[in-house]
Every structure is written in structure tokens, then in C-alpha cells.
Amino acid sequence: MKVHILRDPVDRRDRDLLEMNYRLRHRIFVELQGWEPLRRPDGRDIDAFDNGDATHLLVTCGGELVGGSRLTPLDKPTLLQTVFSGLVELDLPASPSLGADWTRFYVRPDRREGRRRAPESAALFCAVMEYALQQGLGYITFVSSVYMLEHGTAVGWRITPLGRARMIDGKPTVAAWIEVSEAALDGARRAAGWSAAPVPPHRRPPRRETTRPAWR
């Protein structure tokens, strides 16, 4: 498996991979999971957070896209701040400039069949933590079903809820934050069976000046 880090501007090859990502996200989140508000006639899942501030972490195997995730800086508008703000009852652990919001996590359905934890999931967990360390982040937020909490704690991550779990689309859903640390990376690497870093060195991009969201 190979990890790709995509940020604007991207070259033609990466643009093609990004387009595959949008179409696979639409297939998974809209056609299979029924997130109808995301449905688009062009069959691409793109929202307001797929912008120049987003970082896409994609996993390929044999040249085929098999999984992906997205990170957006917390000192810019995010899904956590807007759509899921009702799940946040507690303060963030540090300045938003030290955090990122983790969204659109997926593994291609045929790669998950018959497996509780697909290798692609472990690869993405490892890649996200590796990248967060490279960027000097202190924590990562996310919104997910309770399963994500179980998966994260199983690899030794320190995860702290930001509020009580609530039912969304029939599933107990929670907002939480993950501590970024070398120990967390080591745990993810052990789970993935990787000894070497999956993410090539990637410099932290300059921050774009926008209005900082108001947090508690």
C-alpha cells in the first residue's frame, strides 16, 4: 500500500486521484450509507471543506484507490464547528491553531468484507498520526460512531469525548479529540504492521488568513 498526501495545488496525476476520491466517497457515503443531503448529479462528494485548506490522505494498492481521509485546520471553518457543533459540550484541549478536524474516513467496501479491521483502516490511522506529527499538531478532532472510539483505543490512542454521545441516523455518535504523540504513532504502526514511516516528509503549509471560528 502507498500513502498519498494531496493539497492544492495538485498536478494532473494527483488531480485524477483526487477525482477518484470524490467519486468513491459519493459511492460510499451516499449510495451505500444513504447520506442523501450529499447526493450530487455528477456523482462526486464535494463539500465546502474540500478547499485549499484541506489535506487529503489517500491510500492506493496496486494503483487502485482503496481508502481515504481528510484533515482541515481547526482555526478555519470545519464540519465540527458547523454541522456538528451541537455535539461539542466541552472546551478544546488547546488553541485551534494546534488542531485539525478529521473527516471523510473510508475504506473501499470490497476491502472490508469479512474483516473486523481492514489493513487499509490501520494504514490510514498510521498515516493520519504520522502527518499530524509532521505538521506539529497537538490534537485531532473527529465525529463518528462509537466504533471509531473503540478502534482508536485498541491501538493505544488517548481519546477524550467533547460531549455526550447522541443518536444520529440511528447510531450513537460522538465528537472527540485524539492526542497527537509519538506513542500514538507507535501504536498505530504496530496495528498496521509497519516499521517505517508511510508518509513522506511534508512541510507544513502556510496558514491562510481567514476569520477564526469562535469556540467555547
pLDDT digits (tens, 9 = 90+) for 86-131: 999 999 999 999 999 999 999 999 887 656 667 888 889 999 999 9
Q: What is the pLDDT of residue 200?
A: 60
Cβ neighbours of residue 37 closer than 8 Å, sequence gap 6 or more: none
Q: What is the pLDDT of residue 209?
A: 42
pLDDT category, 155, cuts 50, 70, 90?
confident
pLDDT category, 64, cuts 50, 70, 90?
very high
Q: What is the pLDDT of residue 47?
A: 94
Q: What is the pLDDT of residue 20?
A: 97
pLDDT category, 140, cuts 50, 70, 90?
very high
pLDDT category, 1, cuts 50, 70, 90?
confident
Spell out the domains of the chain, with CATH numbers in brackets. Answer: 2-192 (3.40.630.30)
Q: What is the pLDDT of residue 122?
A: 86
Mean pLDDT of 170-193: 91
* Cβ neighbours, 10 Å, residue 132: 24
Cβ neighbours of residue 201 closer than 8 Å, sequence gap 6 or more: 134
Q: What is the pLDDT of residue 153?
A: 87
Residue with cell 478502534: 151
The 3-state DSSP class for residue 19 equals: helix
Is the pLDDT at 7 greater than 60? The verdict is: yes
